[in-house]
Structure formats: C-alpha cells, structure tokens
Amino acid sequence: METLPRFNAARMVREGMHERMLEHGAHTLSDCELLALALPARKRCNHTFARELLVRFGSLRSLLTAARPALREAGLTEREVNALLVAMELTRRHYSQLMQTGTYLNNPRATKDYVHMRLRDLEHEIFSVIYLDNRNRVLSMQELFRGTIDGASVHVREVVKEALARNAAAMVLVHNHPSGVAEPSHADELITKRIKQAVSLVDIRLLDHLVVGDGVTESFAERGLL
C-alpha cells in the first residue's frame, strides 16, 4: 500500500513566507516573519515561536540585543541563539564599513543609521568624533569621552588635539542620550558652539553633531544649529 506524504503545516507556512519574500522582497515581511525565517527550521511552527519571542521580549530590538542566557531561558537552542547573533553582527559590519578609512562620508542617512546602531542601546553616554580629510573621506572614528547615564564630560582641548594629530580637515561629533530622548540639550548646544569655534581657529570644519536617542538620531546641521 502506497504511503502518502505526511502533511507538515509548519513547513508549508515557512515555504509560503519564502515564496512571498522571493516574489515581493524581504522588506514586505513582518518582523515576526523575518525572525521566523532567520531561525533554523523547527518541528513546531517557526512563525508561532517567533511571535511568542516578540511578545516575551516586547520588541524585535529587545530580542536581538538580549544576552545569551536570556535567549536560552526563552527556549532558543544554542544554534538558534548563534543564528540571531550572526544576523546582528552582519548588520553591524554592514554599517561599520561606512566608517572605514578612505570611505567618502557623503550619505547622511547611512551615517545616521550607523551611529544609531552603534550607540542606541548603551546605558552610558559616549562622545565620539568622526575625523575626515578635505574630501570628506573618513580618517577614523574615535570614542573620546565616556560618562554615566547623566552625561559625559567633554574637553574641547582634547577634541582639537586629536583632530590635529590626525591632520583632519573636517569632523562630525556624535553622542548618545541613554534616556532615549534625542532632543539636543542646552549643554549640547553650548559644547557644540565651543568646539566649532575652537576647531575653526585651526581651519577644521565642524560638519555636524549627531545625537542618538531611541528610534531617532537628531542632526544639528539639519536643525540649523551649526
């Protein structure tokens, strides 16, 4: 007697998501669907498990930035945890290539995406500087000051000294607000003004100051604050 192939609902759902991605693009899939495809195939429905994970962690971001023990406690296998960590690291490296030496910094959106990914989840404030040559090519990106949840103490003299040491022609300031509110503070405006005045004395242009919050990165240049 001929045996009929066993119906596998989980596989059918997964194949359906694959087909939609191939036909319409990955951007058309939901967070839950993308997560389901990123995880190795399970006996149970990946889509159901992905939905449970998103509910448990509250958001895709919280899930992808969770520590390994928390992921294992949520029921992910070591293989699945590694799959998520690989996905995150690939994303970081995709954006970090923007800051490689010699890269032209001519894409404001990509620059914002990069600094947002790098700084948004930190619990302490970081003040960094992107140094550029006279053709706006990246010389380096350096973390200069590190603070608590309330702020970082920024020394203008150190900013100028490091810029001169790299023979920079221009720079972009970057810092995060651990509170998640990206609105520039009065202190942010004052230190930006002081740094701009100081570097202009040695013929270095301050192109922008980016403030990273939760879900948004504010630009001083775009807001007319430079």
Judge residue 65's burial from the number of C-beta atoms within 10 Å of its C-beta, 0-12 exposed, 13-18 middle, 19 or more buried.
middle
pLDDT of 7: 46
Selected residue with higher pLDDT from 222 and 100: 222
Query: 66-76 burial by CB neighbour count: b if 16+ within 10 A, else e?
Result: beeeebeebeb
pLDDT of 33: 87
Edge-first strand listing for the sheet containing 217-219 = 138-146, 126-132, 170-176, 205-212, 217-219
pLDDT of 62: 83
Please provide residue 149's backbone torsions phi and psi, each rounded to the nearest 5 degrees.
-70, -15
Region of poorest pLDDT, from 47-51, 107-111, 154-158: 107-111
pLDDT of 116: 83
CA distances (Å), 16 to each of 34, 36, 211, in order? 12, 12, 41
Average pLDDT over the chain reads 84
pTM: 0.68
Selected residue with higher pLDDT from 38 and 103: 38
